[in-house]
Structure formats: structure tokens, C-alpha cells
Structure 1
């Protein structure tokens, strides 16, 4: 797009300046938005003449908006911003405000900063309740998930959800939908982690001494989602020092934790009781499960494996 000041310079530099200026003026003053502005203000001729460059800029920028090619291809001088006329003492001036596409884009970026993930597929992170296919096997789980979002009070809600069921029934997707809705509706910061990969990273973080920093963040995030808990290779260190430490801190600070798993409570307890080197440690597993059972509601999700459809 030709720069506005260059266009006006070309006009003023010509021999027929007055003629060109009058044609430009007539064209600009026929614009409906300009006429609306003038209908609300008593503007004298000399103010109009001095403000012609602003009026021209206003009409040209709005012409781009009327034929909007999308935010990424926005040709306006300030991408994603629309001009608005106002009187600045005895002069016509412009201020730029975000358009609806720019506002929506910033809101999405804000939500992405609120909702973070570790090791979760990108296609799942944009989950929304309205995109979940409702059937008899998942109806109750969807209802409880929506109720959880509606009733969630930052700093006060203590009880989370424990989604369990077979592979591919939508547990992770529904958890991400909860996180997205809480970010959108109540500006709740959350983190979802794929538990097996997270525990493996904790082991590797010992060598580079970053484990404390990573654990500290996971412990303190307002809403934590432990996805696919029970799919990891269990060890006494992972169970007691990592998982136990996270849950103990969150319990003491009244921070909400959500879970998804292929196991129900009893099956997860059996999984936690067995460690590769320590054998069966039922008491330690019960200690972990007490922190999970007491602070979550179990929600079964049925249906077929949608990954194979």
C-alpha cells in the first residue's frame, strides 16, 4: 500500500494542487464514517482543511478493514488496529484501537500463557467442551467436567477430578478442555504433564541440577493435571520423593490437582505399591492414594477407543 504521506505529498506537489485537493476532500467527506463523525461535531472549514491528511488516513485504513484479509495479512500501518477520529482541541486527530481479530488473538495468546503443557500433543491443547462428541458413555463425565469449571473458585476450590477409563476414550482431551475453559472464564493458570515423560525427566534432571527448579514450578502451579498417571515405570524414589513431594505440598497449600488414568483407585494403588527395586510397599502406596482419594472425585469415562476410528 502506498504510504499516505507520500500520496498527499504527490498531490500538493502538482500544478493542479487545488483541484486535486478539492477532489480528495469531496471523496473523503462522502465517507459514511466521516459523515457520522461530522454529525456529532461542529467542525469549521479551516479545521477540515488542516485535518485532511488525518481524514484521508482514516478512510484508507478503514477501507483495508472493510476488505479484511485476516490478521496475519493486515495491511494497516498498525497491524490489527483500527483508526478512530476525535477532536484534539481545534484539530482532527486519530487514535488506534485493537480490532476484534486482534483482541481475539491476544486473548488466545493470554490463554496459552495461562495453560501450559509438558509432553502433550498440540492438537489436544486446543480442546473445547463444544467440540466433544456427546454419547451415553461420556455424558456424565462431560457434565461433571463442565460443573467443575462453573463451580471452580480460585483459591477456594480444593477437590479435583480423577478421570479413568480405557485407552483413547478422551480423558486427556477433556482435561485440556477444563484447563482451557478455566483460563478463558476465570484466568486460572494451569499445567498439564504427561506423567511418564515427566518422571523420566526428573531422573535426568538430577545430573544437571535443575530438578528442584522444575519441581518447584509443578508444586506451585494453581491447577495441575497429571495425565496418564499409572503408565510410568514406578520406583520408590519417583513415588515417594517426586510424586509424594508434589502431592504433599499441594495438599498443604490447598492447590487443586486433576488426574487421568487407565486405572481406578484400587488398581492405581496396586501399581504404586510395586517398585522395581523395593518390591511391594503397600503402606507407602496407601499414603499416596490417601492424598488422591481424599481430594478428587472419581469419574469413569467409557466408550470405544477413538484413536482407532
Structure 2
């Protein structure tokens, strides 16, 4: 079957691409051959189950459409049946590093909200508002600074978020601040000096820095490691997410009280303000509350 521009625009996937990329009818007209091929060959796997349920011509692979450099392109991606049998596919493909098991019992934030609503309407509304804030931030290339008491679910929320980016093909680093500073110290002061961990966090497409403020602050950790990473990511507008038990004002106070420094109290405050200022430029700050889920 041959589709014209009007018919092509009725497809939900193409509608989404048009909205996200502000695609004109003229561009669609120029790429009608590619779009017709896609619409005639596309078969969506919808049923649950493993590869034995797959009806694709190439088992386990489903046709996908994407838009890049003002052109439409089609490619093959894993279908739901392949992912059912290979649940860690996207982690294996796109995860740069993690010191945390990113497997979550929830497939989406909506699923998490639904589960939480059965226990606490207040908490489920809080998570929904955080999710809304996250979406608003993404439209401006901003991450989240998610703070709250121990055990309220900050890391779980970020696990689901990280897996979402992995599924989109983003290169993700998910690391606890304590691991970052410990590994960076070992690498930079070992016999064979290295900046592997520091650079990994600096350049990742998406960085999740878990439990910032948990580490014992020193001048070196704050200025040579954390500021180095955060300032680079701020300057290059790289998507960054932070979780913490401290809000940003308390984090500033903690980073102002570094006892190994030869700087004056005023200079310490300036150093702390520099790092918090960069974090504010990278994120929207939001609180997660509730009782410990542990």
C-alpha cells in the first residue's frame, strides 16, 4: 500500500517524531519512500512471553523509525519477546559503570506510583510530582537533585529513570559518591596514575551521582574530584542526577566545613558555594518524603 503525507501523519510513532522534532510536511514528502517502506513492513510485538511467541520475520527484532539530520531512518531493535528472555540487554549495551544493582521490581515510574498508592496516597502524589518535575527538567536538559531521609526510595526512583535512558541508547554511569572518591583516590595515587573513574563520570552522556554528601569531605575530594566533574558537566550541559540525604543548603554547609584545608573560613565558603552553584545550574531540586521502605 502507498501512503500519502496525510496518511503517514496518522501513525502514532511518526506523530511522536513530528512533535519532538518539529518536522514539516515538506520533509515528510521528501522521505515518503522511507516512510512507506516502514509502514508496510512494521509489525509490533505486543504479547508477553519469550522468543517462542515472536512473529517477526527476523525473530527477536522489530522495525523502528528515528529522525536524525533532517531525515527519517529505519533500524531493527530488540522486540518485547527478546527483552523478555534477555532482561539485561540494554544495561549490557549502554551501561558504562555501576556499583549498584539497577534491576528494579518496577518497569516504569507509573508502576511505582500505582504500587505506592496502595500504601500511601500522600507518598504516591509526592512521587508523581517528582516525576512531573523530572519531565519538565528534561525538556530543558536538566536533571534532578533528589533529597530526603534514608530509605524513602530515592535510589529506586533513579534506577527506573536510569533504565529508561539505557533503553533509549544513552551511555549511563550510576555511581555512589563514596565509590567515586575512593576509586579516584586509588587511581590517582597508585603507581600507575589514572583518571579513569573521574573521566568516566565527567564524560558520560547521563550521570547518576548517588548519595552525594555521604562522603567525609576533604579539600581534595570537593575541589579536585567533585567540582572537576560537576563544573565540566555544567559547562557542557550534560544531563546529571544527584541523590542525597541533604538539601542543597545543608550540602553547602557540609562542604564549607572541611577541616584539612589551609584556606580561611571565608575561602571555604566560596569553594562550597561554587560547587552548589554548579549543581543548581544542572538540576531541579525536589524532596522525596515518607517513611523508610527498607
Which of the five TM-score ranges fits, normalised by the shorter chain? 0.5 to 0.7
Q: Among 198, 219, 223, which residue is 1:236 paired with?
A: 219
Counterpart residue number, 2:277: 290
Cα gap change, 1:138 to 1:201, in 2 (>3 Å): farther
Which ranges in structure 2 are unaligned for 5 or more consecutive residues?
1-48, 62-79
With structure 2 as the length reference, what TM-score do the two structures score? 0.64
1:134-153 residue pairs with structure 2 within 5 A? 134=117, 135-145=121-131, 148-149=134-135, 152=138
1:31 maps to: none
* One of 91, 97, 120 as aligned partner of 2:59: 97
Structure 1 position 197 matched with structure 2 position 159? no
Mapped contact 1:127–1:174 kept (Cα < 8 A): no
C-alpha separation in 2, matches of 1:83 and 1:188:
26
1:130-189: CA deviation from partner (whole Å, max 9, x where unpaired): 135243135234333256358736xxx4321111110100001111111112333x3322
Report the CA distance shift for 1:107/1:282 in structure 2 as closer, same or farther (over 3 A). same
Please give the alpha-carbon distance, in whole angstroms, between the structure 2 residues aligned to 1:166 and 1:70.
40
Question: 2:144 is paired with a residue of what secondary structure?
Answer: strand
- Aligned counterparts of 2:132 and 2:92: Cα–Cα separation in 1: 20
Point out the more displaced range, 200-209 or 134-143. 134-143
1:255 paired to 2:238? yes
Match of 1:270 in 2: 253
Instruction: For 1:125 and 1:289, locate their aligned partners in 2 and report how far apart those are by CA, in whole Å.
Output: 33
Q: List aligned pairs for 1:103-252, cutoff 5 A.
A: 104-105=84-85, 108-124=88-104, 128-129=108-109, 130-132=111-113, 133-134=116-117, 135-145=121-131, 148-149=134-135, 152=138, 157-184=140-167, 186-206=168-188, 207-209=190-192, 211-252=194-235
In structure 2, the CA distance between the partners of 1:83 and 1:241, relative to structure 1 (3 Å rule), is: closer
Q: Provide closer, same or farther for how the CA distance between residues 265 and 138 of structure 1 changes in structure 2, counting only shifts above 3 A.
A: farther
User: Unaligned 5+ residue runs, structure 1?
Assistant: 1-68, 75-79, 85-95
1:145 and 1:178 in contact (8 A); partners too: no
Alpha-carbon deviation of 1:293?
1.6
Higher Cα radius of gyration: 1
Instruction: Please provide the CA RMSD for this pair.
Output: 3.1
Runs of 4 or more above 6 Å deviation: 80-84
What is the count of residue pairs matched by the alignment?
218
Q: Secondary structure at the match of 1:188?
A: coil
TM-score, structure 1 as length reference:
0.61
Whole-Å separation in 1 of the counterparts to 2:125 and 2:172: 24
In 2, Cα distance between the equivalents of 1:117 and 1:127? 21
